[in-house]
Amino acid sequence: MRNMKKYGLLWLLAAVAWLLLVPGLFHGRGTDVWYTDRVAVIAYHHIDDHTQGDVTITTARFRGQLTDLLQRGYHFISLQQFRDFMAGGQVPPNAVLVTFDDGYRSFYTNAYPILKELNIPAVNFVITKDLEHPDQSLIPSLSRDQIRFMTREMKDIDAQCHSDSLHDRGPSGGPLLTTRLPKDGGIEGTSQYEQRITDDTKACVNKLKELYDRPVDAYAYPFGYYDEQSVALLRKSGIRYGFTTASGLTGRDADPMQIPRINAGSPFVKENSLNNLIIKSISRKSS
């Protein structure tokens, strides 16, 4: 009996020592400061357990990534906190803003319950033309009622613009936001192009403003394409923040119309490797 107690105590001490030595099992490492006065904006698209794709991950992978960041000491912020930061305010160390593109219904069915459970804010950039017939898009889209429900239940869930109907390509293959389209046997002129972009942007903003009483002033560029002229037109239409597909962290002095984002929604980004992507981006200059 004495030997059993002796070996039992030794096993317990060895187990405790092993747990303390294995990194990441305790929230204690959450005291690490990876960066300050910057924000890592991470981007997702589709969260689904039954389909595969370049921008699709499972619910387990999504939960695992967010939980891993929480355990490492990252702090998730809202879009309003991001706005305040860009205007000169403060954010906690290791600040992260979660964004989604395309307004897929899987945000409501699969991502939102996890965000709510973990109390993590997020922004979804919505293609607002799909609000008319959410079941008819290639991947089912969010409905108006779903956006209303989420944004009312969680004050830090936001819906912003991914254009109304510019998330497509013209006959030449160029993105609609930056490409002059055929018009009356020729190519649309400057005034026609400008009118098309401003009309589309205002339509997107107004459709979202009908759903909830918060600013709609952020825009994710379709396919990541933008240029000087399209940025100027978006600004003219009330957009203050443009989110790109370039990777990096955002400092307070960054161009607010060229906010970089880190792609977290790739199936190649495992639960414990999103941290590595963020750390790798720290040394990059924010654009």
Say which CATH number the domain at 193 has.
3.20.20.370
- Bridge partners (DSSP) of residue 186 are 183
Answer yes or no: do 184 and 228 share one domain.
yes
Q: How many CB atoms lie within 10 A of CB 14?
A: 10
Number of domains forming the structure of the chain: 2
Answer yes or no: do 204 and 72 share one domain.
yes
84 contacts: CB under 8 Å, gap ≥ 6: none
Assigned domain for 150 exists = yes
Q: How far is CA 65 from CA 19, 34, 272, in A?
A: 21, 17, 6
Answer yes or no: do 17 and 75 share one domain.
no
Answer yes or no: do 7 and 101 share one domain.
no
Answer yes or no: do 80 and 9 share one domain.
no
Answer yes or no: do 1 and 137 share one domain.
no
Q: Is residue 121 a contact partner of residue 77, using CB atoms and an 8 Å limit?
A: yes
Answer yes or no: do 11 and 109 share one domain.
no
Assigned domain for 287 exists = no
- The pLDDT score that the predictor gives to residue 206 is 98
* Domain that includes residue 220, residue range: 32-282
Answer yes or no: do 8 and 52 share one domain.
no
Q: Is residue 137 a contact partner of residue 93, using CB atoms and an 8 Å limit?
A: no
19 contacts: CB under 8 Å, gap ≥ 6: 25, 26
Answer yes or no: do 23 and 103 share one domain.
no
Locate 147 and state its tokens. Answer: 């956006």
Angstrom distance (rounded) from CA 40 to CA 251: 9
Answer yes or no: do 204 and 182 share one domain.
yes
Radius of gyration for the alpha carbons in the chain, expressed in angstroms and rounded: 22
- The pLDDT score that the predictor gives to residue 30 is 61
Per-residue pLDDT of the chain (287 residues; tens, 9 = 90+): 443 333 333 343 343 333 333 333 333 356 789 999 999 999 999 999 999 999 999 999 999 999 999 999 999 999 999 999 999 999 999 999 999 999 999 999 999 999 999 999 999 999 999 999 999 988 999 999 999 999 999 999 999 999 999 999 999 999 999 999 998 889 999 999 999 999 999 999 999 999 999 999 999 999 999 999 999 999 999 999 999 999 999 999 999 999 999 999 999 999 989 999 999 998 765 44
- State the distance between the two ends of the chain, measured CA to CA, in whole angstroms: 68
Angstrom distance (rounded) from CA 215 to CA 239: 10
Answer yes or no: do 75 and 138 share one domain.
yes
